[in-house]
A and B are shown apart, each in its own frame.
Chain A
Amino acid sequence: MDLLQTGIVLLMVVTLAVPMGKYIAAVFSLESTKLDKGFGKIEGIIFRLGGIAGDSMTWKQYAKAVIISNFVMFGAGYLILRLQTFLPLNPNEIGNMDPLLSFNTAASFLTNTNLQHYSGESGLTYLSQMMVIMFLMFTTPATGLAVCMAFIRGLTGKESLGNFYVDLVRAHTRILLPLSFLVSMLLVSQGVPQTLSPNVEAMTQEGNVQQIARGPVAALESIKHLGTNGGGFFGVNSSHPFENPTPLSNVIEILSMFLLPASLPFAFGSMSGRKKTGRMLFGAMAIMFLGFLSVAYISETYGNMALQEAGLSQEEGNMEGKEVRFGIAQSTLFTAVTTAATTGTVNNMHDTLTPLGGMVPVAQMMLNCVFGGDGVGLINILMYGILAVFIAGLMVGRTPEFLGRKIEAGEMKLIAITILIHPLIILVPSAIALATGMGSAAVSNPGYHGISQVLYEFTSSAANNGSGFEGLGDNTPFWNISTGLVMLFGRYFSIIAMLAVGASMMVKKPVPETIGTFKTDNSTYMAILLGTVLVVGALTFFPVLALGPVADALTLR
């Protein structure tokens, strides 16, 4: 039964991803398409209002546009959070957010991370939920998609990288807005609230007054998943019955967060005219995903032997921290998907997963290319793809080429630094946190599990995932500043570096393919790609994982 429901959901993902990939390729086509007829008018108005001419940009212009627009969004978000109590739509009379938490929150949502050091129901007004949270939930995946498209255009040698503002607007009008509307309606049908009315007061059996929080939840919930954002309306995220009331809503949410990351390889195939390479990329990511999902599922079904000895039945598996309405299958699937697609929404508490089950989300975020977030995930796997070609490609006796373009020192430098930066911003802050009182004070569960908690927090930040292992008292200046910075580095460094790589690949003269060319569309290459991702990932993170989850698992018996 478990396998069946998991299988059906994953099959639906693939079924939807293939046509969606084609659609995305058409949406961001530099040539005019049929879509321009329908959406062109609305977009035309937006371009006129925004004074966007839509000229092609160089990579520097493109990157500048990304940075400047994001900086403005960051500033606006920060100001609203700081002043929210004076602004309208505050029926529950929520106060202003303090400066460091505001910095962390703005950075978190700006970077598509959605790490939450606050609880939505008590920390944000409805205006903040809509103007800061939901607004950024739309713009950041749109930014990710735009950059991804520019990167693909570069790699495949299109005439230009495109125009950031045009890509940004199209991502909204043609993909995110229509899909969110659809998903919101589906979620409302499952009982997710969508209202601007204040909290409801209820009388409990004991005669106490209970505040039942509600708000424009469905609108947030849809884009939260579609945009691989993950920040919950409520503190407990998608395990809250108002965010994710039924098994069906659970499936809808899984499908929405997996849809875009899973369809991007197909979009890449369409755009580059190399459908087989697109399928190969999908296959490589799918194999990693299935592997991780299996580990999580087996380890959660097996249960926690320490609890068994304490007299708690583990027959249903490790149900600690999971919702009964989802069970093991829908919980582990959700966990695997949310950390693969780096969404960060949770329907169970990852802190209470078994040690190895908990290692799965961390590991997927460490690799950061098992599908990955909207746009950036594909950028990452392509980057690993270039690295794989570079290492193994020499073995065919030619200097390495990717998609017919030579990989030279310039690109390698950028890729090498980008690959270096990811472990750097995970391991160094983790080490500082564990070595200092500022950091380790937040750990609720010392020992090996404490390492997992800290590691998870920074990995989640660096991968722009945003889920928390929880159990970490993280609303402190140290955590707000450190994770804020890690999120910003994690997001913008790779975006800028990969735009530069795309641009430098674009101007290269493609080498025609012959029988002597390294092929990137067959199973051999897939094996090399998987090997590269796993070996580089394992080599980088194995020691710290050995000290955290592995030691945790070994000593739990």
Chain B
Amino acid sequence: MDTSNKAVIENPVMLPGTEPASGQRPSTIKKAIVEAFIKLNPAVMIKNPVMFTVEAGFFITLILTVFPGIFGEPSDRIYNGAVSMILLVTILFANFAEALAEGRGRAQAESLKKSKRDVEAKLLVKDGSIVPVFSPELRKGDIVLAEANDIIPGDGEVIEGVASVDESAITGESAPVIKEAGGDFCSVTGGTRVASDWIKIRITAEPGESFLDRMISMVEGAKRKKTPNEIALNTLLISLTLIFIVVCATLVPIGSYVDVHIPVSTLIALLVCLIPTTIGGLLSAIGIAGMDRVTKFNVIAMSGKAVEAAGDINTLILDKTGTITYGNRMASEFIPCGGYSIGELSEAAAESSLHDETPEGKSIIGLSKKLGERLPTVKNSIGIEFKAETRMSGTDFPDGRAVRKGAVDAVRRYVESFGGTIPGDMDKLAEGIAREGGTPLAVADGNKILGLVYLKDTVKPGMKERFAELRKMGIKTIMCTGDNPLTAATIAREAGVDDYIPEARPEDKLELIRREQGEGKLVAMSGDGTNDAPALAQADVGVAMNSGTAAAKEAANMVDLDSDPTKIIEVIAIGKQLLMTRGALTTFSIANDIAKYFAIIPAMLLLAIPEMESLNLMGLETPESAILSALIFNAVIIPILIPLAMKGIEYVPMSATKLLRKNLLIYGLGGVVVPFAGIKLIDLALAFVL
């Protein structure tokens, strides 16, 4: 599967003004540095108790630098100053990580805000006259007129007229889309522009509550709430911090019982090294960056919770049409009947499709070409359009010939009405096609039936592999389709989905979701129509297509701006990646403590108990350099891990056990080993400098 990053590169459709995942704009970094200092405000820091503890340690050591004897015993001013500075840098690094993650979101929000400027709207009042008002004055239920080149003043639905609307401001897609009253294409978004014609719109959102407003606040992270998992993890981090405060505080009286006197700055250094500053400093950046990766993917998640839930999905419900298959039936074979040759049939089929602009028609011409048929000329021929009553389309030629193609029974009636005969093998062949999940089209030239066109719904390339990957992640895929059981089974087999629901009505989807959820599963689905809304709302992760109705978007917890229903698969991967990154860095952070202990504890006690030298496994130079090295390692590991926190750790679909073993080896064992090497290196460097 594409990891998110790869997919971003492959997917050129991006929000205007956003830069690709790789490479930060220098100005973003500069802003983040400034932010890092602003965030030093203790009132802000207290929201992150782990880093707040570090800040408290910074202030105490700062006081000790200025007044080395303030706690009774004299202490080394320079050493205190060094500890104090390293602590400050540690906090700044953590703040920088957060600011950087927030900055990226803000850049996207800026570009969205540009499309949200106040516009003049043409409000239609009861007597039919038009009153110009500013968009913030519009209320729910107001009716406005939007003509060519007008910016649509707010979210709403079309009640009259047809217009093409340029939605590139939101989706980045430059081709205008048609909006008309009724059906699934009636919803319009504020900030988009009418490209041609006119529409009357009923406003559906109060000012400040529009889709765009919500999007901006989501992207900006202004409304960012901690997700349930983040809250739980934070609880653990706070409790570890409290444990280590107790451990360090009690060390003073216990130590002085045996005449071990520990300088306050050393004690603070020990505390800061032990509390999980690495994950504490990066936790919010990981969360923001995870949301951001989803946004980069042109999917707007309404909450971080939804992204997390995506990682937990057990069942994925996909519509067949448009998601798994192209949705249009393609000609895959010509089957002649009644003794005609395949060439005759192919020619007639192509002739019947000369004026047919539908995908089916085009595919017939395509297949015919492939068979080496020369296309007849269009000149002077008249296209007969498909009509619901006739259920046929075709071409009338100037010489009086009439070629038709259509549903088998419709063509049969047509031919019989001209006194033609029906080939004996036609019904059997037609039945055979239907049994295999295809749709047979009969082709008639005058009153002769030449044969059948085998129309087949084609599975999009790569879907089978994706479903195999989902299976590896332990996710079950269910295909919903309105097709009959036979057709559904064929497509399901071809696409490799785990299960399918044939002849599905919208309420069946809701029922299915409820049933799966009843078994404790988390369900994801994507949809666009109004009749999908209840199911989207019921699903744990519901991705609505931006082209879909307002009701669908309202009910979903994610909106895909590109309206690509298969994207939900990538969203799942991003969700998993987010959780993995959090777990990996937590494990890494805690595993780091072992090495830090072996650096600090012997150093701390060495003065009073020279025998402690045997615990100095790393052979660090002096007690001071040992403590400072551990502290410096503790600080620099944060910026080193920022790229990882932002990008997320690599995710390749595999079974949980394999994945766990792999990550445990890298981040668990790595977390134990890396700091031993890192601290030793820093100590060597310090010894060289000092």
Q: Is A412 an interface residue (CB 8 A)?
A: yes
How close is A499's CB to chain B, nearest CB, in angstroms? 19
Contact of B583 with A392 in the complex, beta carbons under 8 Å: yes
CB neighbours of B590 from chain A (8 A):
391, 535, 539
Q: Is B239 an interface residue (CB 8 A)?
A: yes
Contact of A511 with B250 in the complex, beta carbons under 8 Å: no
Q: Is A431 an interface residue (CB 8 A)?
A: yes
Q: Which of B497-539 contact A (CB under 8 A)?
A: 519-522
Contact of A516 with B605 in the complex, beta carbons under 8 Å: no
- Given A516-B475, A517-B474, A522-B657, CB of A431 within 8 Å of CB of B587: no
- Given A427-B250, A512-B519, CB of A420 within 8 Å of CB of B586: no
Contact of B253 among A407, A432, A541 (CB under 8 A): A432
**Which residue of chain B has its CB nearest to the CB of A434?**
B257
CB neighbours of A440 from chain B (8 A):
257
Distance in angstroms between the alpha carbons of A247 and B29 in the assembled complex? 73
Interface residues as binary, A389-425 with B (CB distance below 8 Å gives 1, 0 otherwise): 0111111111100001001110111001101100110
Q: Is B150 an interface residue (CB 8 A)?
A: no
Q: Is B674 an interface residue (CB 8 A)?
A: no
Contact of B612 with A551 in the complex, beta carbons under 8 Å: yes
CB neighbours of B593 from chain A (8 A):
535, 539
Q: Is B689 an interface residue (CB 8 A)?
A: no
Q: Is A312 an interface residue (CB 8 A)?
A: no
Contact of B576 with A398 in the complex, beta carbons under 8 Å: yes
Q: Is A441 an interface residue (CB 8 A)?
A: no
CB neighbours of A555 from chain B (8 A):
609, 611
How close is B588's CB to chain A, nearest CB, in angstroms? 10
**Which residue of chain B has its CB nearest to the CB of A413?**
B235
Interface residues as binary, B307-326 with A (CB distance below 8 Å gives 1, 0 otherwise): 01001101000000000000
Distance in angstroms between the alpha carbons of A541 and B475 in the assembled complex? 42
Contact of A511 with B314 in the complex, beta carbons under 8 Å: yes
Contact of A434 among B248, B254, B475 (CB under 8 A): B254
How close is B251's CB to chain A, nearest CB, in angstroms? 5
Contact of B243 with A540 in the complex, beta carbons under 8 Å: yes
Q: Is B301 an interface residue (CB 8 A)?
A: no
Contact of A547 among B255, B308, B577, B597 (CB under 8 A): B255
Interface-central residue, A387, A397, A432, A540, by most chain B CB under 10 Å: A397
CB neighbours of A390 from chain B (8 A):
232-233, 236
Q: Is A428 an interface residue (CB 8 A)?
A: yes
- Given A409-B235, A435-B253, CB of A396 within 8 Å of CB of B247: no
Contact of B583 among A395, A450, A512, A543 (CB under 8 A): A395
Q: Is B58 an interface residue (CB 8 A)?
A: no
Contact of A546 among B250, B252, B612 (CB under 8 A): B612
Contact of B274 among A393, A407, A447, A539 (CB under 8 A): A539
CB neighbours of B687 from chain A (8 A):
none
How close is B287's CB to chain A, nearest CB, in angstroms? 13
- Given A515-B474, A519-B657, CB of A547 within 8 Å of CB of B605: yes
Contact of B311 with A399 in the complex, beta carbons under 8 Å: yes
How close is B307's CB to chain A, nearest CB, in angstroms? 11
**Which residue of chain A has its CB nearest to the CB of B474?**
A516
CB neighbours of B238 from chain A (8 A):
416
Distance in angstroms between the alpha carbons of A416 and B519 in the assembled complex? 30
Contact of B236 with A511 in the complex, beta carbons under 8 Å: no
Distance in angstroms between the alpha carbons of A396 and B667 in the assembled complex? 13
Contact of A539 with B257 in the complex, beta carbons under 8 Å: no
Q: Is A191 an interface residue (CB 8 A)?
A: no
How close is A522's CB to chain B, nearest CB, in angstroms? 7
Q: Is B594 an interface residue (CB 8 A)?
A: yes
**Which residue of chain A has its CB nearest to the CB of B586?**
A391
CB neighbours of B384 from chain A (8 A):
none
CB neighbours of A398 from chain B (8 A):
311-312, 576, 579, 656
Distance in angstroms between the alpha carbons of A424 and B250 in the assembled complex? 9
How close is B606's CB to chain A, nearest CB, in angstroms? 11
Contact of B660 with A416 in the complex, beta carbons under 8 Å: no
Distance in angstroms between the alpha carbons of A547 and B258 in the assembled complex? 8
Chain A's interface size range is 35 or more
How close is A557's CB to chain B, nearest CB, in angstroms? 8
Interface residues as binary, A451-463 with B (CB distance below 8 Å gives 1, 0 otherwise): 1000000000000
Q: Is A492 an interface residue (CB 8 A)?
A: no
Distance in angstroms between the alpha carbons of A188 and B46 in the assembled complex? 64
- Given A392-B660, A396-B656, CB of A419 within 8 Å of CB of B239: yes
Distance in angstroms between the alpha carbons of A65 and B375 in the assembled complex? 90
Interface residues as binary, B264-293 with A (CB distance below 8 Å gives 1, 0 otherwise): 000000100010000000000000000000
Q: Which of A3-56 contact B (CB under 8 A)?
A: none
- Given A417-B239, A516-B655, A524-B657, CB of A404 within 8 Å of CB of B308: no
Contact of A395 with B659 in the complex, beta carbons under 8 Å: yes
CB neighbours of A428 from chain B (8 A):
246, 250
Distance in angstroms between the alpha carbons of A300 and B657 in the assembled complex? 41
Q: Is A291 an interface residue (CB 8 A)?
A: no
Interface residues as binary, A526-557 with B (CB distance below 8 Å gives 1, 0 otherwise): 01100100010011111110110011001101
How close is B241's CB to chain A, nearest CB, in angstroms? 10
Distance in angstroms between the alpha carbons of A430 and B314 in the assembled complex? 50
- Given A516-B475, A518-B656, A554-B612, CB of A535 within 8 Å of CB of B594: yes
Q: Is B477 an interface residue (CB 8 A)?
A: no
Contact of B612 with A531 in the complex, beta carbons under 8 Å: no
Contact of A551 with B254 in the complex, beta carbons under 8 Å: no
Interface residues as binary, A495-527 with B (CB distance below 8 Å gives 1, 0 otherwise): 000000000000001111011111100101001
**Which residue of chain A has its CB nearest to the CB of B253?**
A435
Contact of B251 with A547 in the complex, beta carbons under 8 Å: yes
Distance in angstroms between the alpha carbons of A152 and B274 in the assembled complex? 33
Q: Is A448 an interface residue (CB 8 A)?
A: yes
Contact of B668 with A392 in the complex, beta carbons under 8 Å: yes
**Which residue of chain A has its CB nearest to the CB of B238?**
A416
Distance in angstroms between the alpha carbons of A430 and B251 in the assembled complex? 10
Contact of B520 with A511 in the complex, beta carbons under 8 Å: yes
- Given A431-B254, A511-B314, A551-B258, CB of A395 within 8 Å of CB of B580: yes
How close is A259's CB to chain B, nearest CB, in angstroms? 33
How close is A417's CB to chain B, nearest CB, in angstroms? 7
Contact of A547 with B579 in the complex, beta carbons under 8 Å: no
Distance in angstroms between the alpha carbons of A73 and B586 in the assembled complex? 44
Contact of A420 with B577 in the complex, beta carbons under 8 Å: no
Contact of A420 with B242 in the complex, beta carbons under 8 Å: yes
**Which residue of chain B has its CB nearest to the CB of A440?**
B257
Interface residues as binary, A370-390 with B (CB distance below 8 Å gives 1, 0 otherwise): 000000000000000001001
Distance in angstroms between the alpha carbons of A401 and B251 in the assembled complex? 36
How close is A444's CB to chain B, nearest CB, in angstroms? 14
Contact of B246 with A424 in the complex, beta carbons under 8 Å: yes
CB neighbours of B587 from chain A (8 A):
391-392, 395
Distance in angstroms between the alpha carbons of A420 and B239 in the assembled complex? 6
Would you give 22 A-B contacts (Cβ < 8 Å), ordered by A?
A: A392-B583, A393-B583, A394-B233, A395-B584, A395-B587, A396-B663, A397-B577, A397-B651, A399-B308, A412-B235, A413-B235, A430-B250, A440-B257, A509-B520, A515-B473, A535-B591, A535-B593, A539-B274, A546-B615, A547-B605, A551-B258, A555-B609
Beyond contacts A395-B659, A413-B235, A522-B657: 16 other A-B pairs, Cβ-Cβ < 8 A, are A395-B660, A395-B663, A396-B659, A396-B660, A397-B311, A409-B235, A432-B253, A509-B520, A510-B520, A511-B522, A512-B520, A517-B656, A524-B664, A538-B594, A540-B243, A546-B605
Q: Which residues does A use to contact B, with CB under 8 Å?
A: 387, 390-399, 404, 407-409, 411-413, 416-417, 419-420, 423-424, 427-428, 430-432, 434-435, 440, 447-448, 450-451, 509-512, 514-519, 522, 524, 527-528, 531, 535, 538-544, 546-547, 550-551, 554-555, 557
Q: Which residues does B use to contact A, with CB under 8 Å?
A: 228-229, 231-233, 235-236, 238-239, 242-244, 246-258, 260, 270, 274, 308, 311-312, 314, 471-476, 519-522, 575-577, 579-580, 582-584, 586-587, 590-591, 593-594, 597, 601, 605, 609, 611-612, 614-615, 651, 655-657, 659-661, 663-664, 667-668
Q: Give the top 9 A-B pairs by smallest Cβ distance, nearest first.
A: A394-B583, A516-B474, A397-B576, A514-B474, A416-B239, A435-B253, A554-B611, A431-B250, A395-B583
